[in-house]
């Protein structure tokens, strides 16, 4: 649905193109009308929000990537064994 309203939008290119191409921020109409708020400040805050979102997701990925492959193998084997044991005892 298209409305007849124009809005100011900020497009922020992603530093990691594997996840996103760009982030779209819709600027409040009264944001730029305030005194002391410049377009540079709004753009800087949009970039900061986009980077904060990406860093939040990367922190978990870094923690999980630190685990060596044998740990993942042992975890998978333990979960498979637990699944089979539960299946056998429930029958």
The answer to the question of residue 1 being in a domain is no
Identify whether 41 is part of a domain: yes
Tell whether 25 is covered by a domain: yes
Binning pLDDT at 50, 70 and 90, where does residue 54 land? low
Q: From CA 34, how far away is CA 39, in angstroms rounded?
A: 11
Q: Is pTM, for the whole model, over 0.85?
A: no
Specify the DSSP element, H or E, that contains 66: none
SS3 53: helix
SS3 percent helix, strand, coil of the chain, rounded to 5, is 55, 15, 35
Q: Is the pLDDT of residue 73 over 80?
A: yes
Specify if 29 maps to a domain.
Answer: yes
pLDDT band at residue 10 using 50, 70 and 90 as cut-offs: confident
Q: Is residue 2 part of a domain?
A: no
39 part of a folded domain: yes
77 is in which domain, residue-wise? 8-90
From residue 72, how far is each of 16, 52, 63, 82, 86 by CA, in Å? 26, 29, 13, 15, 21
| Number of folded domains that form the chain | 1
Establish if 71 belongs to a structural domain: yes
pLDDT, tens digit, 9 for 90 and up, residues 11-53: 777 766 776 778 788 877 777 677 777 778 877 887 787 777 7
Q: Is residue 3 part of a domain?
A: no
Question: Three-state SS for 13?
Answer: strand
């Amino acid at each position: 649905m298209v409305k007849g309203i124009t809005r100011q939008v900020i497009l922020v290119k992603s530093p990691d193109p594997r996840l996103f191409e760009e982030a779209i921020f819709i600027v409040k109409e009264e944001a730029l009308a305030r005194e002391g708020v410049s377009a540079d400040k709004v753009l800087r805050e949009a970039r900061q929000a986009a980077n904060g979102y990406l860093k939040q997701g990367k922190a978990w990925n870094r923690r999980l990537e630190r685990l060596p492959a044998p740990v993942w193998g042992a975890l998978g084997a333990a979960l498979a064994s637990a699944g089979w044991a539960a299946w056998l005892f429930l029958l």
